[in-house]
Amino acid sequence: MSTKPVLAPSSETPISRRGFFMKLGILFNGLAAAVVAVPIVGFLFSSITRGRGNGYLSWVQLGNVSEFPEGETRLATFRNPYVMPTDGTTADTACWVRHIAGEQFQIFAVNCAHLGCPVRWFQQSGLFMCPCHGGAYYRDGSRASGPPERGLFEYPYKVENGVIAIQAGELPTPGAAIAALTGEKPPCA
Amino acid sequence: MRMMISSIGQWFDRRLQLAAPVREIAEHPVPRNTASWWYVFGSAALVVFILQFVTGILLALVYVPSGAEAWSSLQALNHAVTLGWFIRAMHGWGSNFMVAIVLIHMVQVFLFGAYKFPRELTWILGVFLLLMTLGMAFSGQVLRFDQDAYWGLGIGASIASRVPILGPAIVKLMLGGPIIAGATLSRFFTLHVFVIPGLLIGFVCLHLLMVLKLGINEWPMPGRVVKRATYINDYHELTKKDGAPFVPYAVWKDMFFAAFIILAVAACAFYFGPFGPTGRPDPTIIQTVPKPDYFFLWLYALLSLLPPSLETPALLIGPVVVIAGLLLLPFLSGEGEKSWKRRPIAVLTVMLIAITLGTFTHLAGYTPWSPHMNAWSGDPVPDQFIHGTTALERQGALVFQVKQCRNCHSLGETGGQRGPSLDSVAVRLTQDQLIRQVIQGGGNMPAYGKNLSPAETTALVAFLETLHPKGQAPARDAARDVALGDQKQPGSER
């Protein structure tokens, strides 16, 4: 017991055996933490880093052109192209289909461009109205009044063999426009 | 028998060695006049938190945190599981009580100057406890996975998306994917059941530890000023001279109030029942008017009333300013008067905030800014507005109804309140002004030019011109009579 020299706590003291192992222990734990942190962080942020890799921007069929009479705006529903087993009804989505003429359409998200509440179409007055904060839009989706700062979100669409398909696997939010600035193509503009 | 209990107790205490510190905590001296009914809210918040903990665990026995099954499991709790409805109601009402009590506790601490030296950190932890309580309230609303929860998440995502540059990434992190779905519920379940409660327990322990170490705030007396140099000595002298052991001198009031609160939660739960769930979380059902829970109604109102250009800055900067203000408060006024009688600005601030939040909450109760979606088909034009009208004017009343004007404009107290009431619109606007307003819109009204034929516009304006109180002439443009010669303005003879 008495064979060990008592070390004075000064800066010139050579590092003790215990102190060295203590530091090594901290370092070793730091290393372990870093090794484990990589998969943890990767898992935690996977919903961002995954990007659009799951194919949720693939084309979804809405139905035949003939189901949407010219000059009218109708509600259509579709199931998200990317579905998890626990999604239930939440993976079903609605959208407003405005058939202008021929193969010309406008497919609007039901989500208000203000805060995302579902807008309803009023044929007689040619307006979309939002029940939450009173946003209103004209039949072409442009802003008519209320708090929204822009028109309704439109999904990209194509018509093939008389069938309308849209790209709509992502919840449209007002921030999507900012994504465009950073180089990421917004899901719908 | 007594001997045996005592010897068992001693056996445990020889190992745990907790009896002495617990007795010391229980009997620590508190200033005599803090044994007041004003000092019961902190312990009441703790009691409601424990109640939430217990009822939450009970609910988790049945609740399924899956996007596909959560709603059905809540239905089962409400209708199939014995007393499931009551436990749900206790948890829901407990949540409301907890937010209310935490707010009252905070106001009391603020008005009694209890956040001042040396209790700054106790206050700061308290601010975090308030934020976590609100976080629990919001995430709890999400777990009630119904239509309100679904669209509430959409609102949350829309707000989060407005953060510059990082917005879309934050939305994906929050939703756990590209849309509101099963993954979203799972992560809010994790927040509500593991993350926030864990933090709450830790913060509550630290908060309580500091109350014990630093002593409960003495009753504020006008003129007894807090000084960093002398306060701690003064406080110790006060507790020595005029102190009394916390147990039993002050604790009985806490106990009475705690029991009262638990009974009040149970009574509300029994009488009013559980909250929801409302309709299924099916986004294809768009006939819904989503509304947040009570304690977020003020925010709902604020989001409708802010000018559009101010909304994003207010949403992103406002919370930062408010939280920073709360955290900095004890450093900005860490010394000085504690008594509310000598702090008029503090009292006025509390009143202003209370009145503002109260007014917003009240407004959100009847949402005058939202169109009444069914007014055009549900609220007919009241009789008195049709009496004695011409065929053209009646046609106008029909146009008024069919074109959904009623969704935003009231007549005789029925209809929407988004736009002004039109009971006496003819007094405010001349015929030309009415035509212009209908066709071009403006002042927050959409333009109807593309949706009205000239005949419909003529009829509608003819009807609108009849809307003036008896004996009060409609507005008219005198210059027009001159310009158009003999041609009288329709309605001007009435």
pLDDT at residue A180, rounded to an integer: 47
Which among A54, A129, A149 has CB closest to B308? A149
- Res. A181 pLDDT band, cuts 50 70 90: very low
A173 touches chain B (CB under 8 A): yes
Residues near B427 by Cβ (< 8 Å), separated by ≥ 6?
B468, B469, B472, B473, B474, B475
Choose among A68, A73, A113: nearest CA to A96: A73
Q: Which residue has the higher pLDDT, A134 or A11?
A: A134
B1-20 mean pLDDT: 93
Instruction: Output the CA torsion sign for B131, B136, B142, B146.
Output: negative
- Chain A's closest residue to B155, CA to CA, is A115
pLDDT score at A3: 55
Output the pLDDT for position B356: 96
Tell me, what's the pLDDT at B490?
53
* Model pLDDT, residue B383: 85
Over range B246-264, report the average pLDDT.
94
Nearest residue of A to residue B154, measured between CA atoms: A116
Average pLDDT, chain B: 92
Distance in Å, alpha carbon of B202 to nearest chain A alpha carbon: 23
Q: Above pLDDT 70, what percent of chain B?
A: 98
Please judge whether B155 and A115 are an interchain contact, meaning their C-beta atoms are less than 8 angstroms apart: yes
Residue B122, pLDDT > 60, answer: yes
Of A124-128, B80-84, B289-293, where does the model show the most confidence?
B80-84
Quick check: B12 pLDDT over 80?
Answer: yes
What pLDDT sits at residue A58? Answer: 85
pLDDT tens digits, one per residue of B193-234: 999 999 999 999 999 999 999 999 999 999 999 999 999 999
- What letter does residue B385 receive in the DSSP assignment? G
Q: According to the model, what pLDDT value does residue A6 have?
A: 54
Distance from CA of A26 to the nearest CA of B (A): 25
For residue B304, the chain A residues in CB contact (below 8 A) are: 132-134, 147
Dig out the tokens for A162 from the structure: 């008389």
Return d(Cα B362, Cα A55) in angstroms, integer: 45
Tokens describing residue A145: 């009044």
What b/e string do you get for B361-393 counting C-beta neighbours within 10 Å, with b at 16 or more?
A: bebbeebebbbbbebbeebbbeeebeeeeeeeb
Minimal CA–CA distance to B181: which of A57, A76, A84? A84
pLDDT in tens, B157-174: 999 998 988 888 999 999
Mean model confidence pLDDT for chain A: 85
Three-state DSSP at A14 gives coil
- Please indicate if any CB of chain B lies within 8 Å of the CB of A86: yes
- A55–chain B Cβ distance below 8 A for any pair: no
Q: How far is B182 from chain A (nearest CA, A)?
A: 4
The verdict on A177 touching B (C-beta cutoff 8 Å) is no
**What is the nearest CA distance from B168 to chain A, expressed in angstroms?**
6
| CA–CA gap between residue B111 and residue B39 (Å, rounded) | 12
A chain contacts of residue B181, beta-carbon cutoff 8 Å: 80, 83-84, 86-87, 90-91
How much is the average pLDDT of A65-76?
A: 93
Interface check A116 vs B, CB under 8 A: yes
Residue A99 zone, left/alpha/beta (φ > 0; ψ -120 to 50; rest): beta
Mode of pairing for the β-strands spanning A157-160 and A136-138: unpaired
What is the residue-wise DSSP string for B121-145? HHHHHHHHHHHHHHHHHHHHHHHS-
Which of B179, B403, B445 is opposite residue A170, by nearest beta carbon?
B179
Angle at the Cα of B349 from the Cα atoms of B346 and B355, rounded to 5 degrees: 140
Give me the residue from B173, B281, B441 closest to A47, CB to CB. Answer: B173
* pLDDT of A173 above 90: no
Return the pLDDT at B441.
87
- Domains, chain B, ordered by start: 2-366 (1.20.810.10), 375-483 (1.10.760.10)
Q: How confident is the model at residue B151 (pLDDT cuts 50, 70, 90)?
A: very high
Which among A84, A133, A144 has CB closest to B370? A133
CB contact A41 to B (< 8 Å): no
> Can you tell me the distance from the alpha carbon of B337 to that of B196, in angstroms, rounded to the nearest whole number?
35
Q: In the numeric block, which tokens belong to residue A114?
A: 């203000």
Percent of chain A beyond pLDDT 70? 84
CB contact under 8 A, A87 and B169: no
Q: What is the mean pLDDT of residues B184-191?
A: 96
Displacement of CA B487 from its chain's centroid (Å)? 57
Q: What is the pLDDT of residue B442?
A: 83
Give the integer Cα–Cα distance in Å for B355 and B362. Answer: 10
Tell me, what's the pLDDT at A183? 46
Token digits of residue B222: 């006008």
A82 touches chain B (CB under 8 A): yes
CA B243/CA B237 separation, integer angstroms: 9
Confidence of residue A7 (pLDDT cuts 50, 70, 90): low
CB contact under 8 A, B282 and A92: yes
Edge-to-edge strands, sheet with A143-145: A120-122, A127-129, A136-138, A143-145
Judge: B182–A84 Cβ closer than 8 Å, yes or no: yes
Highest mean pLDDT (candidates B136-140, B365-369, B418-422, B434-438): B136-140
Mean pLDDT, residues B25-43: 92
pLDDT > 80? residue B94:
yes
Q: How confident is the model at residue A182 (pLDDT cuts 50, 70, 90)?
A: very low
| pLDDT value at residue B380 | 86
Where b means 16+ CB within 10 Å and e means fewer, B338-360 reads bbbebbeebeeeeeeeeeebeeb
Letter for the amino acid at B133?
T
Whether the pLDDT of residue B16 is over 60: the answer is: yes
- Give B431-489 pLDDT, tens digit per residue: 889 999 999 988 889 888 888 899 999 999 999 999 988 888 888 888 877 877 755 55
Distance from CA of A23 to the nearest CA of B (A): 29
pLDDT of B306 above 50 = yes
Residue B378: the pLDDT is 84
Judged by CB atoms closer than 8 Å, whether chains meet at B154 and A175 is answered as no
In the predicted structure, residue A1 carries a pLDDT above the cut 50: no
Separation between Cα atoms, residue B361 and residue B354, nearest integer Å: 10
d(CA B4, CA B1): 5
For residue A187, pLDDT over 90 is answered with no
Question: Interface pTM (ipTM) of the complex?
Answer: 0.86
Listing DSSP states for B69-86 in one string gives: THHHHHHHHHHTSTTHHH
> What residues of A are in contact with residue B445 (Cβ under 8 Å)?
145
Output the DSSP codes for B388-449. T--HHHHHHHHHHHHTTGGGT--BTTBS--SS---TTHHHHS-HHHHHHHHHH-BTTB---G
Quote the distance between the C-alpha of residue B161 and its chain's center. Answer: 22
* Tens digits of residue pLDDT in B371-381: 888 888 888 88
Count of Cβ atoms closer than 10 Å to residue A12 Cβ: 5
pTM equals 0.89
Query: Where does the pLDDT of residue B289 fall: very low under 50, low under 70, confident under 90, or very high at 90 and above?
Result: confident
Q: How far apart are CA B494 and CA B491, in angstroms?
A: 5
Contact state of B151 with A80 under an 8 Å Cβ cutoff: no
pLDDT in tens, A110-142: 999 999 999 999 988 899 999 888 899 999 999
Cα–Cα separations (whole angstroms), residue B15 to A106, B21, B25, B196, B353: 76, 14, 19, 33, 52
Q: Is the pLDDT of residue A82 over 90?
A: no
Contact residues on chain B for A90, CB-CB shorter than 8 A = 67, 150, 179-182, 184, 281-283
